[in-house]
Amino acid sequence: MKTKKHKDKILFTPGPLTTSQTVKQAMMRDLGSRDSEFIAIVQQIRRKLVELGQASPDEYTAVLMQGSGTFGLEAVVSSTVPPDGKMLIIINGAYGKRLAKIASVLKIDTITLEYPENTTPNLPEIEEMLNNDKEITNVSVVHCETTTGIINPIMEIGQHVAKSGATYFVDAMSSFGAVPLNLTECNIDYLVSSANKCIEGVPGFSFILCKLSSLKETAGYARSLSFDLLDQYLGFEKNGQFRFTPPTHTLVAFRQALEELEEEGGVNGRAERYRKNYETLVTGMRKMGFKEYLIPEHQGYIITSFLYPDDSNFSFEEFYESLNQKDYVIYPGKVSDANCFRIGNIGQIFEADIKALLATIRQTIAQMGVKLK
Ligand SMILES: *Cc1c(COP(=O)(O)O)cnc(C)c1O
């Protein structure tokens, strides 16, 4: 019997993303959670993730957590702030705000430094706050703020955090695996990303890269059973197993995704493809007359926010729907002070796909009667 080959739409989004056929096929297994093959896969994934963070397994460990990326963030916030601790949250977009929301729900004492969405955080201000407020025990920031695509200076912030003695937490959800990063050099204690972003797996779990010496000091901090990071780690160390039902199919697919990342030349190879996608995209969009929300110096190659054209014939809903009907899925904007839409360069997307998208955008804009220049 032949199965009908189904060609899905291409996802130019921040995730879930277009994945390879081989990653999807890898999921066609039913492995038991105590199966030795499955336990070996989990161990292999954990080791590989530490390697991708350019760190030594003596210094860092990878803890896998069921659920989407936000579940991993919540695991860190709920498990690594001491009971009487205080968290500084550096915000320049919706995902920084989400960290503050998580802390607020958990009734954790927080202080925020908030910046406009088109601006990177002010380093001297962060340094001053850390010098003046000795109650701050934890600091968090987003690496690539997927709201706009801005890349925040996590290494420089990390130097200030290290000097202050606080614990440093980075949400690298949309950058890890495609933007090279050294956990040790950035002084990172905890970093979160998930299966379905730049490593190009399917959704189902997040992972937390933890500095072992910091993690081991967190006994008694957890504010939740399911999200208890230290307990999850101790479970893996004890018998290689998740404490509760693991997303077995997603993990097998993720192992395949890691192999494909390796074949592409690792983080640098993937960065190169995404950067090429980005350059092709912005060159083509600018040629049509579209403008980016960010200045190029702040813009990363993960995802780009474009301003709506200044023409009353433009309607995002119509634009989106027309592209969607042609099997190209773009993403609404998330910026609070400007009308934008977003186009992602991540996932199994290649230069030819970007060129096809650009041609379709040109056609759609003409059909809508939108004038760009
Ligand atoms: C995607 C993303 C998240 C949220 O991940 P979910 O899987 O939707 O929970 C958090 N932070 C950043 C920076 C992201 O890009």
Cis? peptide before 57, omega within 30° of 0: no
The ligand 1 atom nearest the CA atom of 70: 9
Flag whether pLDDT at 3 surpasses 90.
Answer: no
Ligand 1 touching residue 365 (CB < 6 A): no
The answer to whether 21 touches 255, Cβ cutoff 8 Å, is: no
How much is the pTM? Answer: 0.97
- Where a domain ends, among 238, 263, 288? 263
Per-chain mean pLDDT for the chain: 97
Ligand 1 touching residue 15 (CB < 6 A): yes
One domain, residues 185 and 320: no
Instruction: Give the pLDDT confidence of 215-258 residue by residue, as tens digits.
Output: 999 999 999 999 999 999 999 999 999 999 999 999 999 999 99
Ligand 1 touching residue 173 (CB < 6 A): yes
Measured distance CA(68)–CA(194) in Å, rounded: 7
Tokens of 326: 């042609």
Flag whether pLDDT at 182 surpasses 90.
Answer: yes
Domain range spanning residue 200?
Answer: 23-263
One domain, residues 231 and 278: no
Measured distance CA(127)–CA(124) in Å, rounded: 5
The ligand 1 atom nearest the CA atom of 142: 13
Total domains in the fold of the chain: 2
Measured distance CA(96)–CA(189) in Å, rounded: 18
One domain, residues 255 and 270: no
